[in-house]
Amino acid sequence: MPPRKIIIDTDPGQDDAVAILLALASPDEIEVLGITAVAGNVPLALTAKNARIVCELAGRTDVRVYAGCDKPLNRALVTAEHVHGKTGLDGPVLPDPQMPLADGHAVDFIIDTLRAEEPGTVTLCPLGPLTNIATAFRKAPDIIDHVQEIVLMGGAYFEVGNITPTAEFNIYVDPEAADIVFKSGKPIVVMPLDVTHKALVTKPRNDAFRALDSKVGNAVAEMTDFFERFDKEKYGSAGAPLHDPCVTAYLIRPELFSGRRVNVEIETGSDLTLGMTVADWWGVTNRAPNALFMGEIDADGFFTLLTERLARL
């Protein structure tokens, strides 16, 4: 099978960085057509810079990185420096990128790329707020036909929320954008907190990254060390959840994950529950399923895959 063509839409973010590294380390399964940066964990100038730092870390200065939307569709930007640090990529000391940003806006890149590819052949992989993707869908609805699938990190059902008691960060930051994407009619695979909170970077897993004894292995160990300090304190768990790499791991080994096809609606009205992913997990409505909402992960299999692939960079 030829590799799957993907666009990674991202707000790096240490876990975004690991997701990108996993994709770039897996050319047999994944062809990265480009990376589009969006404002999220930190403002756009930093996410666009961090995406290039990660490409350079992987030795892939050929990957095109575009800057996209600098704020949500209808709201002020909410960021997460309290988790990711001031730069968004705190932890390792990595050089400023030498590679320039690609010319043009990320939204136009998404539109032009989808139009240039056959219908149903490009997978979108959003790892941050859905502003770029929703803007592209609104500006050029014809491109939706060219999407094969949307595999995203966002939302929660049993775990409910991380940025508010009822909302996960990526959906909360731009709920109107999420609403557009979930109503797009395309197949969606959701990696919610229910899954990612089981993908914990425990000490032995972090040691395995470090034991690679490579630039990439050390950087990933230091990145995950950094955001552990926040998550361990918050959840009292054995390690921090590695959210976004669940998306790229799914493209390589989907059998590591299981879930249910359910209806998912996004709360955009209530102040109290803004950004909640209302997933009909128990099938109590007659709303048509619009997403494969994951619930379980083979965490050992996931970390084995990740470590093996990082060793290739």
Tell me which residues touch ligand BDR (CB under 6 A): 13, 15-16, 41, 80, 83, 127-128, 153, 162, 168-170, 243-244
Is residue 243 flagged as an active site residue? yes
Distance from C-alpha of 264 to C-alpha of 278, rounded to nearest angstrom: 5
Asked if 13 touches Ca ion (CB under 5 A), the answer is yes
Strands 147-153 and 188-191: what pairing?
parallel
- What is the β-pairing status of strands 188-191 and 200-201? unpaired
**For residues 127 and 190, which CB has a smaller minimum distance to ligand BDR in the complex?**
127
Stretch that binds Ca ion, among 8-16, 23-31, 131-139, 261-269 (CB under 5 A): 8-16
* Alpha-carbon separation of residue 59 from 20, 53, 266, 296, 313 (angstroms): 12, 10, 38, 33, 8
Complex with ligand BDR: residue 40 or 97, whichever CB lies closer: 40
- Name the catalytic one among 84, 146, 197, 243: 243
Give whichever of 143 and 190 is closer to ligand BDR, judged by the CB atom.
190
Nearest approach in angstroms of CB 220 to ligand BDR is: 14
**Minimal distance in Å, beta carbon 243 to Ca ion?**
7
Letters for 220-259 (x = contact with Ca ion by CB under 5 A, - = none) are ------------------------x---------------
Strand partners, 189: 151, 292
Structure token digits, residue 39: 């404002």
Write the interaction track for Ca ion spanning residues 172-211; mark x where CB under 5 A is met and - where it is not: ----------------------------------------
Q: Which positions from 16 through 45 interact with Ca ion, judged by CB under 5 A? A: 16
Instruction: Enter the tokens of residue 80.
Output: 């997460």
Instruction: Find out whether 208 and 167 touch, Cβ atoms under 8 Å.
Output: no
By CB under 5 A, which span of 82-90, 105-113, 124-132, 157-165 interacts with Ca ion?
124-132
DSSP character string of 54-109: HHHHTT-TTS-EEE--SS-SSS-----HHHH-SSSS-SS--PPP-SPPPSSBHHHH
Residues whose CB falls within 8 Å of the CB of residue 139, separated by 6 or more in sequence, listed in order: 107, 111
How many angstroms separate the CA atoms of 114 and 200, rounded? 34
Query: Based on CB atoms, which residue is closest to Ca ion, 14 or 263?
Result: 14
Quick check: 128 binds Ca ion (CB under 5 A)? yes
What is the closest distance, in whole angstroms, from the C-beta atom of residue 19 to ligand BDR in the complex?
A: 8
Q: In Å, how far are 87, 121, 140, 302 from 143, measured between CA atoms?
A: 33, 11, 6, 32
In whole angstroms, how close is the CB of 240 to ligand BDR at the nearest point? 11
Nearer to ligand BDR, 153 or 220 (CB): 153
Q: Binder to Ca ion among 127, 133, 167, 264 (CB under 5 A)?
A: 127
What CA–CA distances, in Å, run from 139 to 10, 130, 132, 136?
Answer: 20, 14, 11, 5
Burial of 95 (0-12, 13-18, 19+ CB in 10 A): exposed
80 makes contact, choosing from ligand BDR, Ca ion, none, with CB < 5 to 8 Å by partner type, with ligand BDR
Instruction: Please say whether the beta carbons of 50 and 95 come within 8 A.
Output: no
Of 143 and 160, the one with the shorter C-beta distance to ligand BDR is 160
The residues assigned a catalytic role are 243
Binding site for Ca ion (CB under 5 A): 11, 13, 16, 127-128, 244
